Structure 1
């Protein structure tokens, strides 16, 4: 391996300006993260605590092995999406270590709308199950939910990837030998009752845990029968009479300990250690905000980024002199091997071919892939179209799509249009995807979109014998620029679960190491590529 060298002057004016501009983006994410971590209102928290219940995040923290982190998925989901706050989509989800084994954990947050499922809550739950399945992880469900949020039922119930898919996934993952464990720590109503009922083993807490298809109010409305929640579906009934639950717990902590014991008996082996001893980079990751250009039109030096992300800043580059606008090579993060692709300019035919070949090599050698996006797209123009850039770009998209090694994506700058697809954007099947707070992504850049729309309008007016005035041009441009800037933001993406997280550059190595650790023992899948157009 070759040791990367930094040529950045950390005392320069440009470095300082970049770091200052980055701080503005960082503060936006920090405010949103604080709201997500807080959960529901103070009143909701007081009511929750009065029932002797831990919060969702407290439950997750006590379930995990002491001192181990949570690789959280969708922390910023639903931020400013609905008419009222729904922090983290009322669901805490992530990969953590339980009894030495990695599990995907789901915890309903009953301080947020009673833990009910909003559309984004269902999507987040399904996303977590997808990650678990791809990586061969068992699932632990900490249930405390009033079921679906009924006013939005049309976006929750009828379709293929709505609420029912959660139950189908539980059944299929259980059939595949992936443990499905549930702790009923509060209400579990209506369709949500199938989560504990379908799991391999279920724990219920006496006095607070309830499971029923129809709650007391629905039973009264439907049949006229008056019955309290404990009699209708409490822990005593379901552990002694119905067998819906297998284990009786006296408190949240007792239930979590039982779940830890069950996890310890899982057939999944403990987490494998990294291939080699983790070592820090030779250059401080805290310098990354100063390396990232203040304006996305400016160049972000690829090797400067790698020098602050890879173990010991060591990198074995692949075809360094060919297709130089994409940098490919292997290194380690947290001791885990990884194949890296990072943009260093626009994609040309040569860079697309080089990247596709590199993906083939990594797939053959079972090396996970990391895509670091900073891409406007493929080069356009008559010369490049005549040179077959569409065909060569399709090779790269083919390779990205079909490679069955674990794939992770991180947008560090811009990620636009076909360049996003080529760099393993969301639609290309990355196991996890994140953005830096300063990153941006849309189908086309805002300036280009505004220019295209003004040219189209100008051509239309030319046919009528007149020109587009500056005022008319501004009327077209300004709404487009404002809309694109809002929709390109990482927070906008994370709120809609188009990415799994917004990661600070300083925390990126930790995030990547957790991703690679999660995938280290994932089931091996054979890669078979589609037809490459030669």
Structure 2
């Protein structure tokens, strides 16, 4: 392998402009994440009066101290819960991520009951179900720390009700696949939420706090006239001794999380997993320079080898076919000891680049090598020469190979992701195992100016076809509207808020995030599950 050589000048104006822009975007990201934490932490007095831990304190008690935790979808719902972005609280009302419990890699969900008592938030359902799907695909135990007031009936819509049922479907599928589903019920788990412990394999409930019932006292009285207390309907002791829903009863939150850790320890879950490789070289090129390399716009040139050299072991990269379709970069490297194939863009995808990528994907499938896509492309080339050279068929071959690849795929949006380039480079619509974005990334069917120019031509042609006088003022107004619409929707914050990735990450964390994702995929490949036909039924 060859060591990637750098030509980056950290003192250059372009580097400094990129660096400052990305740091400003990262500051905005951290401020939004902190806004969510502050909102949750504002409930501390209430939690302390009840003798409860705050949601993130529960998470800390559950996870192994010092072990990595890959938090997912922190911007979920950004701009959707409130039209004023200054008042939007992202996160979907829950914390989700992959972490370690008693040395076991697991998917962990925590209802953020400090925000609206844990009521379902916009995009919270999608975030919950995305986590379930990752758990199923990557063969991860699923641990849910439950305290949810259920749906907000004042904001009811039928779509949420219908789509929300899929969460129960995935719980049933996880259990049947042989993946343990563990619920720790810290507080309310009512109505549809009661099926969360009902569909779990192991249920731990906190005495005096946990409540699980299909209808609470107000609804029960309204529906049937019956009067009953919360403890009689769904308290921990009742469920442990009478209904059989609870397997373990805890004295408080900390005790419940200790019991959850003990349950995980009994699984002997890592008996099939080889120890992780610890012998690997750090990049020679400085990863701290990545913010200065992050392209500020789709027209900013960037040699993606500079990115590769700052995230792979020893900055070593064995490029495949470097002189053929050179705008498409392909080659072999390793990240934290895991061998990978990399596909990246130094420009649009042309027929030669697409053909090379197709061959490279198939070679990686032949050797069982995971694929990492580093997106920075304005799409497939257009024009008479490219059409005649078979751009459609060569691009289609690339998409065929990518979509049917039988190895893990992890995608990082490093810059532009426009048009069918998003598809060919394993965008979210093609179900990569994981998909992350840098804060500067921009995604759209095409650039804003390009879209506005296209519509201007169409609008002018339409006026002429109808025999009308060309209204340049109307065309200009339309252009401004199209540009504004595209600019609003292309940002990484907008797309991540709609779960079109698994989270916005600091470019300097790319190596660690990829290492965690790739190790998760590798464990899944090594693990043999013991599925049962219907999942584990409660007594």
Any idea what SS the aligned residue of 1:58 has?
A: helix
Q: Contact 1:26–1:438 (CA<8 Å) still a contact in 2?
A: no
Q: Distance in 1 between matches of 2:382 and 2:522?
A: 39
What is the correspondence of 1:69-108 to structure 2 with a 5 Å cutoff? 69-83=68-82, 85-108=88-111
Aligned partner of 1:410 in structure 2 is: 412
User: Bigger shift: 19-28 or 453-462?
Assistant: 19-28
Any idea what SS the aligned residue of 1:178 has?
A: coil
User: Bigger shift: 270-279 or 233-242?
Assistant: 270-279
Aligned partner of 2:219 in structure 1 is: 218
1:265 correspondence with 2:251: no
Aligned partner of 2:56 in structure 1 is: 57
Q: Distance in 1 between matches of 2:277 and 2:350?
A: 35
Once the two structures are TM-superposed, the CA of residue 276 in structure 1 deviates from its matched residue by: 5.4
TM-score, scaled relative to structure 2: 0.93
1:127 correspondence with 2:126: no
Provide, for residues 190-248 of structure 1, a one-character-per-residue CA deviation record: whole Å limited to 9, x for no partner: 11111111111100000111110111111111122222212211001001111101001
Once the two structures are TM-superposed, the CA of residue 425 in structure 1 deviates from its matched residue by: 0.4
1:114 correspondence with 2:113: no
Match of 1:152 among 133, 146, 156: 156
User: Bigger shift: 449-458 or 362-371?
Assistant: 362-371
Q: Distance in 1 between matches of 2:513 and 2:400?
A: 27
Q: Distance in 2 between matches of 1:234 and 1:34?
A: 34
TM-score, scaled relative to structure 1: 0.94
Q: Contact 1:40–1:87 (CA<8 Å) still a contact in 2?
A: no
Provide, for residues 269-323 of structure 1, a one-character-per-residue CA deviation record: whole Å limited to 9, x for no partner: 1664444523221111111121223332111211111111111101111111111
Aligned partner of 1:9 in structure 2 is: 9
Match of 2:459 among 451, 457, 460: 457
Aligned partner of 1:233 in structure 2 is: 234
Any idea what SS the aligned residue of 2:221 has?
A: helix
Q: Contact 1:167–1:195 (CA<8 Å) still a contact in 2?
A: yes
Once the two structures are TM-superposed, the CA of residue 94 in structure 1 deviates from its matched residue by: 0.8
Q: 1:38 to 1:278 in 2, by over 3 A?
A: farther
Once the two structures are TM-superposed, the CA of residue 476 in structure 1 deviates from its matched residue by: 1.2
What is the correspondence of 1:350-361 to structure 2 with a 5 Å cutoff? 350-361=352-363
Aligned partner of 1:515 in structure 2 is: 517
Q: 1:250 to 1:264 in 2, by over 3 A?
A: same
Once the two structures are TM-superposed, the CA of residue 465 in structure 1 deviates from its matched residue by: 4.7
Any idea what SS the aligned residue of 2:151 has?
A: coil
Q: Distance in 2 between matches of 1:466 and 1:166?
A: 54
Q: Contact 1:377–1:418 (CA<8 Å) still a contact in 2?
A: yes
**What stretches of structure 1 of length at least 5 have no aligned partner?**
526-534
Q: 1:431 to 1:489 in 2, by over 3 A?
A: same
Q: Distance in 1 between matches of 2:289 and 2:16?
A: 10
Once the two structures are TM-superposed, the CA of residue 256 in structure 1 deviates from its matched residue by: 0.5
Q: Distance in 2 between matches of 1:290 and 1:219?
A: 60
Once the two structures are TM-superposed, the CA of residue 519 in structure 1 deviates from its matched residue by: 1.2
Q: Contact 2:33–2:90 (CA<8 Å) still a contact in 1?
A: no
Provide, for residues 10-45 of structure 1, a one-character-per-residue CA deviation record: whole Å limited to 9, x for no partner: 222222222123233223222222223334372x33
Aligned partner of 1:46 in structure 2 is: 45
Once the two structures are TM-superposed, the CA of residue 152 in structure 1 deviates from its matched residue by: 2.5
User: Bigger shift: 219-228 or 354-363?
Assistant: 219-228
Once the two structures are TM-superposed, the CA of residue 473 in structure 1 deviates from its matched residue by: 2.9
Aligned partner of 1:30 in structure 2 is: 30
CA root-mean-square deviation = 1.7
Once the two structures are TM-superposed, the CA of residue 267 in structure 1 deviates from its matched residue by: 4.6
What is the correspondence of 1:305-384 to structure 2 with a 5 Å cutoff? 305-384=307-386
1:143 correspondence with 2:146: yes
Show structure 1 runs of 4+ deviating over 6 A: none
Q: Distance in 2 between matches of 1:20 and 1:256?
A: 42
User: Bigger shift: 460-469 or 217-226?
Assistant: 460-469
